[in-house]
C-alpha cells in the first residue's frame, strides 16, 4: 500500500512516452498504453487486497509553507479510494484494449492513446488525493482530459462545440466547488479531509456555514456528474469517440461528482438541508433524464441520458444517507454502463450509424455484441440476479428508510422508465428485420469483444458482493471504522424488492409489446399527448431556455462591457499613449540633423540660463 | 585713442557677434556660415583685446590669447574649407540643409 502513489504515474508515463515517441510508434502506441494501464490495474488490485485486511494508509509531504500556513501533498488509501482505484484502472485498461480495435486506422491514433493516458492519470490522482486542494487540481485535470477527448474529432464543428460546452458547463460547477473549498479552508484552516471532518464534528463550524459549503461543493459535483440543471453537456459529449464515452462519460469522470459527495459525506451528513438538496436534485435528475431517454433515437444519446439518470440515483442514495448504496451503485454502474457503451461502440463500428431507427435485426449478425448488450441492458433495468438489481434495490430501500416517500416513488417510476427505454433501445437495434443496407455487418475483432466479455461477467457478478441474501460484505466494509458514514446496509421492507422487480419487468414487457411484438402501436402515446411528447423529445427545451436567457444575457452584458472597454478604458489608454507619442514626435523634430537648429536651441538655452543667472544673482539691479 | 570709451569697443564686439550669430544660424550657404563664425571669433578677439588694454587689470595675456584664437581660426577655416570642398565634390551642393547626415 506504500507504493499506491505509483498507480497514477504509469498512465502519466504512457502520456509522456506517447507525446514524445507517438509519431514513430504509430499503432504500436496501443501496446504502451495497454501495458502501463495494466501495471496500474495490478497495483490497484494489490492495494485493494491490502486494504481489505489492513488499515487506512496515508502519506503526506510538505508542499508549500506560507507564513503559518502549511500545504501538503500526498495520498491516502481508504476503503472508498481503494475501490475507486480498481474501478478506474480496470475500466481504463479495458478501454485501452478496446480502443486498439475501435480506433484502428485513425490518423491521430497515438494522440488518442496519449490523451487516454493523461485522463487516466488525472482520474487516479483525483481518487488518491487526501485533501481538497489536491482533489481540485486533479478535478480540473480530469476536465482537461475530457475536453481533449470530446473534441478529438476536431474537424467536426459539433465535436468542437460539444467540447467547449462540456468544459464551460463543468466550469460553472467548478466555481461553486472552488468557493466551497475556500470557505471551508477559511472556517477550518485546513484542506485536509480528516481535519475538516474533525472540525465539523467538534462543532467549530456554524450550521449555516456547513450547509452553505456543502451545497457549494455539491454544485461542483452537479457540474461534473451532469445533474440537473447542469446536465446538458453530457449528452453532447457523445460527440467524442465511443471508448471515451465509456471511460469518461459513463464509468469514471462523471462518477467523480458522486465520489466527491461520498468523500465529503461527513460534511453533508452534518447538514440536513444539504442532504435533502442532494437527494432532491438526484431524484429529479433521475426521472427527468429517464423521460428524455424515452424519446431519443441516437444510440449513444439514449445511453448518455441513462447515465445522467443513474448518476441521479447515486446522488439520491447519498442524499438519503445511503452512503454504501450510493457507492455500490457507482461500482455496478461503472461496469454495466461501460459494457453498454463498448457494446454500442461495437454496433456503431459494425453498421456505421448511430441512429437506432436505421438499425434492426442485428441479433444474429453480432453474435458476441448482442448477448453482451443484453446483459448490460438487463443489469441497468434492474432485473433480478443482475448487479444493477441489487444496487438499485439498496438505493430504493435507503430512500424509503429516510422517509422521502415522494422521492422514493419518483425513483420507482424512473426505474420503470429505465427498463422501458433500455429495452426499447435493445429491441430497435437487435430484433425485427434486418435493413437492406446492413448487408456488410461484421463482428468486431477480439481486442474489442474481449473487454466487453470481462465487463459482461462483472455486470452480472459484481452485485453479489453486497446482497441482502448472501451478506452485505461491501457495504459493511465501506463504512467500517467510520460512524459518520452510517450503516453498511439499511433494513427495509421486503415488498420494495418485489415492487422494483415488478416495475422493471413491466417496463421490459411494455417495450417488448411496442417495439418487438408491435401489438401496441409505437405512436400510441405520442398521438394521444402530442404536446407532452414534443416537450420531451426536445429535452424540455433546456438548451433553448439557456440560450434565450443565460447565453443572451451574458452576451448583452459582454456587449455592454465591450463598449466600456472600447470607449472608456481604451480612450484613457489612447490619451496616455497619445501624449507620450506627441512628446516624442516633438522631440524627434529637434533631432533632425540640421546643424543650425541645434545651434539655435543651444543658443536659446544659453540665453535662458544666463537670464536666470542674472535674475537670481541680482546682477540686473546693479 | 583715449577718446574712445570702452563701451564703444564692447558695443562693436556685440554687434559683430550678433551679426555673426545671425548669419551662422540662418544662412543656407555653408561658406557664408563659415564666414559668420569668423565674424563671431573676431568679435571675441575685440573683447579680449579691449579688456587686455582698458580693463580693470590690463595685461598682455588677452592679446596673446587673441593671437591664439586667430591661429586656431585660420586652421579651422583651412580644415573647414577642405571638408566643404570634398563634400561639394561628393554631393554637388554647399547648402547646409542638405548636410544632415550626422543624424544617421
Which has the closest alpha carbon to A153: A91, A244, A25, A37? A244
Question: What chain B residue is nearest to A599 in terms of C-alpha separation?
Answer: B25
Kindly state whether A592 is in contact with chain B, defined as any CB-CB distance less than 8 angstroms.
yes
Highest mean pLDDT among A79-83, A219-223, A421-425, B72-76: B72-76
pLDDT at B71: 94
The Cα of B36 is separated from the nearest Cα of chain A by a number of Å equal to 12
pLDDT at A169: 86
Would B41 be classed as within a structural domain? yes
Burial environment of residue A104 by CB neighbours within 10 A (0 to 12, 13 to 18, 19 or more): middle
Return d(Cα A396, Cα A166) in angstroms, integer. Answer: 31
3 state SS of A422: helix
The Cα of B103 is separated from the nearest Cα of chain A by a number of Å equal to 5
Q: Tally the residues of chain B.
A: 104
Residue B78 has pLDDT above 90, yes or no: yes
Which residues does A178 contact at the CB level (< 8 Å), separation at least 6? A136, A220
User: Nine-digit cell at A9?
Assistant: 504515474
Would B81 be classed as within a structural domain? yes
Kindly state whether B56 is in contact with chain A, defined as any CB-CB distance less than 8 angstroms.
no
Would B98 be classed as within a structural domain? no
* Average pLDDT value over all residues in chain B: 88
Q: Kindly report which listed range (A145-149, A258-262, A532-536) carries the lowest average pLDDT score.
A: A532-536
Q: Which residues in chain A have Cβ-Cβ distances shorter than 8 Å to B103?
A: 591-593
pLDDT at A580: 93
Would B102 be classed as within a structural domain? no
Q: Kindly report which listed range (A44-48, A55-59, A262-266, A296-300) carries the lowest average pLDDT score.
A: A55-59
- Note whether A368 and A449 are within 8 A (CB): yes
Average pLDDT over residues A543-559: 85
pLDDT at A250: 81
CATH of the domain at B30: 1.10.287.3510
User: Nine-digit cell at A79?
Assistant: 476503503
Dihedral sign (CA A12, A15, A18, A21): negative
The Cα of B42 is separated from the nearest Cα of chain A by a number of Å equal to 18
**For A382, which DSSP code?**
T
Average pLDDT over residues A342-354: 84
Kindly state whether B24 is in contact with chain A, defined as any CB-CB distance less than 8 angstroms.
yes
Residue B22 has pLDDT above 70, yes or no: yes
Kindly state whether B95 is in contact with chain A, defined as any CB-CB distance less than 8 angstroms.
no
Would B40 be classed as within a structural domain? yes
Residue A438 pLDDT grade (very low, low, confident, very high; cuts 50, 70, 90): low
Would B36 be classed as within a structural domain? yes
Return d(Cα A260, Cα A181) in angstroms, integer. Answer: 12
H or E element in which residue A62 lies: strand A57-66
Q: Which residues in chain A have Cβ-Cβ distances shorter than 8 Å to B25?
A: 596, 599-600, 603
| Phi, psi of A487, deg, nearest 5 | -90, 150
Question: What chain B residue is nearest to A602 in terms of C-alpha separation?
Answer: B25
Question: What chain A residue is nearest to B99 in terms of C-alpha separation?
Answer: A594
Do residue A594 and residue B97 have CB atoms under 8 angstroms apart? Answer: yes
Would B32 be classed as within a structural domain? yes
Return d(Cα A442, Cα A434) in angstroms, integer. Answer: 14
Q: Which residues in chain B have Cβ-Cβ distances shorter than 8 Å to A587?
A: none
Residue A480 pLDDT grade (very low, low, confident, very high; cuts 50, 70, 90): confident
Question: What chain A residue is nearest to B22 in terms of C-alpha separation?
Answer: A600
The Cα of B30 is separated from the nearest Cα of chain A by a number of Å equal to 11
Q: Kindly report which listed range (A145-149, A484-488, A507-511) carries the lowest average pLDDT score.
A: A484-488
Residue A395 has pLDDT above 80, yes or no: yes
The Cα of A605 is separated from the nearest Cα of chain B by a number of Å equal to 14
Q: Residue A50: count other Cβ atoms within 10 Å of its Cβ.
A: 17
Return d(Cα A367, Cα A442) in angstroms, integer. Answer: 10
pLDDT at B45: 93
What is the domain count for chain B? 1
Burial environment of residue A494 by CB neighbours within 10 A (0 to 12, 13 to 18, 19 or more): exposed
The Cα of A607 is separated from the nearest Cα of chain B by a number of Å equal to 13
Nearest to A600 among B25, B99, B100 (CB): B25
Which residues does A190 contact at the CB level (< 8 Å), separation at least 6? A131, A196, A199
Which has the closest alpha carbon to B33: B103, B90, B87, B104? B87
Which has the closest alpha carbon to A412: A400, A401, A424? A400
- Note whether A139 and A172 are within 8 A (CB): no
- Note whether A455 and A338 are within 8 A (CB): yes
H or E element in which residue A69 lies: strand A69-77
Residue B67 has pLDDT above 90, yes or no: yes
Kindly state whether A587 is in contact with chain B, defined as any CB-CB distance less than 8 angstroms.
no
**The pTM of the whole model exceeds 0.80:** no
Residue A614 has pLDDT above 90, yes or no: no
Residue A621 has pLDDT above 70, yes or no: no
Would B77 be classed as within a structural domain? yes
Do residue B96 and residue A595 have CB atoms under 8 angstroms apart? Answer: yes
User: Nine-digit cell at A607?
Assistant: 540665453
Chain A / chain B CB contacts < 8 angstroms: 25
CA angle, A254 then A146 then A322, to 5°: 10
Q: Tally the residues of chain A.
A: 622
Q: Which residue range is the domain that position B86 belongs to?
A: 6-92
Place of cell 545671425: B22
Return d(Cα A463, Cα A391) in angstroms, integer. Answer: 7
Question: What chain B residue is nearest to A591 in terms of C-alpha separation?
Answer: B103
Amino acid at each position: 500500500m506504500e507504493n499506491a502513489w505509483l498507480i497514477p504515474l504509469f498512465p502519466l508515463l504512457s502520456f509522456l512516452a506517447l507525446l514524445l515517441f507517438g509519431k514513430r510508434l504509430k499503432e504500436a502506441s496501443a501496446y504502451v498504453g495497454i501495458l502501463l494501464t495494466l501495471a496500474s490495474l495490478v497495483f490497484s488490485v494489490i492495494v485493494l487486497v491490502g486494504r481489505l485486511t489492513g488499515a487506512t494508509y496515508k502519506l503526506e509531504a510538505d508542499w508549500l509553507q506560507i507564513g503559518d500556513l502549511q500545504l501538503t501533498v500526498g495520498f491516502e488509501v481508504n476503503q472508498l479510494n481503494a475501490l475507486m482505484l480498481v474501478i478506474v484502472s480496470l475500466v481504463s485498461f479495458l478501454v485501452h484494449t478496446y480502443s486498439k480495435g475501435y480506433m484502428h486506422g485513425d490518423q491521430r491514433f497515438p494522440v488518442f492513446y496519449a490523451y487516454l493516458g493523461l485522463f487516466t492519470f488525472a482520474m487516479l490522482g483525483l481518487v488518491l488525493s487526501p485533501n481538497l486542494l489536491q482533489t481540485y487540481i486533479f478535478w480540473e485535470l480530469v476536465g482537461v482530459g475530457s475536453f481533449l477527448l470530446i473534441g478529438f474529432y476536431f474537424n467536426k464543428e459539433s465535436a468542437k462545440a460539444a467540447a467547449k460546452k462540456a468544459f464551460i458547463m463543468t466550469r460553472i460547477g467548478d466555481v461553486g466547488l472552488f468557493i466551497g473549498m475556500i470557505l471551508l479552508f477559511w472556517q477550518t484552516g485546513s484542506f485536509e479531509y480528516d481535519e475538516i471532518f474533525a472540525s465539523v464534528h467538534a462543532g467549530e463550524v456554524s450550521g449555516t456555514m456547513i450547509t452553505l459549503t456543502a451545497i457549494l461543493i455539491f454544485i461542483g459535483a452537479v457540474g461534473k456528474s451532469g445533474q440537473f440543471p447542469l446536465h446538458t453537456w453530457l449528452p453532447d459529449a457523445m460527440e467524442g469517440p465511443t471508448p471515451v464515452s465509456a471511460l469518461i462519460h459513463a464509468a469514471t469522470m462523471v462518477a467523480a461528482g458522486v465520489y466527491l459527495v461520498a468523500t465529503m459525506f461527513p460534511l453533508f451528513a452534518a447538514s440536513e438541508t444539504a442532504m435533502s438538496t442532494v437527494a432532491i436534485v438526484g431524484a429529479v435528475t433521475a426521472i427527468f433524464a429517464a423521460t428524455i431517454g424515452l424519446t431519443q433515437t441516437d444510440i449513444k444519446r439514449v445511453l448518455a441520458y441513462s447515465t445522467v439518470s443513474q448518476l441521479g440515483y447515486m446522488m439520491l442514495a447519498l442524499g438519503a444517507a445511503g452512503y454504501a448504496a450510493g457507492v455500490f451503485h457507482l461500482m455496478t454502474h461503472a461496469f454495466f454502463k461501460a459494457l453498454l457503451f463498448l457494446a454500442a461502440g461495437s454496433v456503431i463500428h459494425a453498421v456505421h450509424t448511430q441512429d437506432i431507427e436505421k438499425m434492426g435485426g442485428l441479433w444474429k449478425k453480432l453474435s458476441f455484441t448482442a448477448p453482451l448488450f443484453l446483459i448490460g441492458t438487463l443489469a441497468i433495468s434492474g432485473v433480478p440476479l443482475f448487479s444493477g438489481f441489487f444496487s438499485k434495490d439498496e438505493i430504493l430501500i435507503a430512500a424509503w428508510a429516510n422517509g422521502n416517500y415522494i422521492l422514493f416513488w419518483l425513483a420507482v417510476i424512473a426505474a420503470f422508465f429505465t427498463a422501458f427505454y433500455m429495452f426499447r433501445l435493445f429491441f430497435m437495434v437487435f430484433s425485427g428485420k434486418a435493413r437492406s443496407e446492413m448487408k456488410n455487418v461484421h463482428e468486431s475483432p477480439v481486442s474489442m469483444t474481449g473487454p466487453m466479455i470481462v465487463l459482461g461477467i462483472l455486470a452480472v457478478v459484481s452485485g453479489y458482493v453486497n446482497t441482502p441474501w448472501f451478506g452485505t460484505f461491501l457495504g459493511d466494509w465501506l463504512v467500517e471504522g467510520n460512524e459518520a458514514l452510517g450503516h453498511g446496509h439499511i433494513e427495509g421492507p421486503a415488498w420494495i424488492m418485489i415492487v422494483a422487480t415488478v416495475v422493471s419487468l413491466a417496463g421490459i414487457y411494455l417495450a417488448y409489446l411496442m417495439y418487438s411484438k408491435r401489438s401496441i402501436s409505437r405512436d400510441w402515446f405520442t398521438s394521444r399527448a402530442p404536446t407532452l411528447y414534443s416537450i420531451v423529445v426536445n429535452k424540455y427545451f433546456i438548451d433553448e431556455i439557456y440560450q434565450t436567457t443565460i447565453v443572451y444575457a451574458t452576451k448583452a452584458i459582454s456587449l455592454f462591457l465591450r463598449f466600456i472597454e472600447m470607449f472608456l478604458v481604451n480612450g484613457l489608454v489612447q490619451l496616455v499613449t497619445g501624449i507620450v507619442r506627441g512628446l516624442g514626435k516633438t522631440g524627434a523634430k529637434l533631432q533632425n540633423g540640421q546643424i543650425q537648429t541645434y545651434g539655435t536651441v543651444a543658443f536659446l538655452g544659453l540665453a535662458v540660463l544666463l537670464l536666470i543667472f542674472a535674475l537670481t544673482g541680482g546682477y540686473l539691479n546693479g | 585713442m583715449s577718446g574712445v570709451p570702452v563701451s564703444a569697443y564692447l558695443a562693436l564686439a556685440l554687434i559683430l557677434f550678433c551679426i555673426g550669430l545671425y548669419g551662422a544660424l540662418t544662412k543656407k550657404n555653408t561658406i557664408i556660415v563659415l564666414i559668420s563664425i569668423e565674424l563671431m571669433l573676431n568679435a571675441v578677439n575685440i573683447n579680449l583685446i579691449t579688456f587686455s588694454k582698458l580693463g580693470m587689470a590690463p595685461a598682455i595675456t588677452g592679446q596673446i590669447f587673441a593671437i591664439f584664437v586667430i591661429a586656431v581660426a585660420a586652421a579651422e577655416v583651412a580644415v573647414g574649407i577642405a571638408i566643404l570642398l570634398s563634400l561639394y565634390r561628393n554631393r554637388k551642393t554647399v547648402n547646409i540643409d542638405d548636410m544632415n547626415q550626422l543624424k544617421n
